[in-house]
């Protein structure tokens, strides 16, 4: 799949996902380039009269939504989300377990996903895998204080962690935390790994999204395929 056909496939998936949004809904707005396509498609429907409010998963998404005329809200006003549309870095066939967080917004993305009645994930076919891991590292969000000790504990778990940098400085999330990218040849049991990571003091959240995707829309050159758990 060439870059232009890949972009077209993602755009087709985004357009289909946005069709599921109904008047009056609270919508979780994902982060990253693919999710931005959905935000753009939603803005077009809003311009035509659709009334929704969005809960963004990153400051970048919030800025995009405001610029495109999408009204925003927060969990101070809304405790539940009708539907969230987001991308993913990997999707495991069958289980629809995800790796997310390459854009650095995994914590907010997971909070919004857990609050959602329905989560639609949009990807192109290159994101589909038989097993999570491999060429895509697993992002883990950690506290900034004592990050060196957290990395040492992750290494002891066999996660091969690398602190994410932005230039020559640590990448800092919207929440003021750091990201560690864990290289793993394969993740045979994502739920077990998620549980182990949760026991590491200093780990805030991992990029494993298990049991959260209601459906995955896969953009292909031939059309959009819908995968459900």
Look up residue 35 and give its two tokens. Answer: 């999710």
Whole-number Å distance between alpha carbons of 69 and 183: 39
**Cβ atoms of 91 and 125 closer than 8 Å:** no
Whole-number Å distance between alpha carbons of 76 and 34: 27
Whole-number Å distance between alpha carbons of 113 and 219: 21
**Cβ atoms of 36 and 61 closer than 8 Å:** yes
Look up residue 163 and give its two tokens. Answer: 């602190």
Instruction: Residue 55: name the closest of 42, 44, 45 by CA.
Output: 42
- Beta bridge partner(s), residue 188: none
**Cβ atoms of 142 and 180 closer than 8 Å:** yes
Strands in 109-188 per DSSP E: 119-124, 128-129, 138-142, 161-163, 165-166, 169-170, 178-182
The reply to whether 22 belongs to the active site is: no
Active-site annotation holder among 22, 59, 92, 109:
109
| Number of residues in the chain | 229
Instruction: Residue 146: name the closest of 194, 204, 103, 193 by CA.
Output: 204
Active site residues: 109
């Amino acid at each position: 799949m060439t870059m232009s056909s890949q972009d077209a496939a993602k755009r087709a998936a985004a357009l289909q996902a946005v069709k599921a949004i109904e008047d009056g809904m609270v919508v979780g707005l994902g982060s990253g380039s693919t999710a931005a396509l959905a935000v753009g498609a939603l803005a077009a429907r809003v311009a035509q009269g659709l009334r929704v409010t969005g809960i963004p998963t990153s400051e970048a998404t919030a800025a995009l939504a405001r610029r495109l005329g999408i009204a925003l809200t927060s969990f101070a006003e809304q405790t539940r989300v009708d539907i969230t549309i987001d991308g993913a870095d990997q999707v495991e066939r069958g289980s629809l377990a995800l790796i997310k967080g390459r854009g650095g917004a995994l914590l907010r993305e997971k909070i919004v996903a857990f609050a959602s009645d329905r989560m639609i994930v949009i990807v192109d076919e290159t994101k589909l895998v038989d097993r999570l891991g491999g060429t895509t590292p697993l992002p883990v969000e950690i506290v900034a204080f004592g990050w060196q000790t957290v990395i040492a504990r992750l290494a002891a778990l066999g996660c091969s962690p690398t602190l994410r940098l932005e230039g020559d400085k640590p990448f800092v999330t919207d929440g003021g935390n750091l990201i560690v990218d864990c290289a793993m040849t394969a993740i045979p049991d994502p739920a077990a790994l998620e549980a182990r990571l949760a026991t590491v003091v200093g780990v805030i959240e991992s990029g494993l999204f298990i049991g959260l995707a209601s459906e995955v829309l896969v953009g292909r050159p031939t059309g959009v395929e819908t995968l459900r758990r």
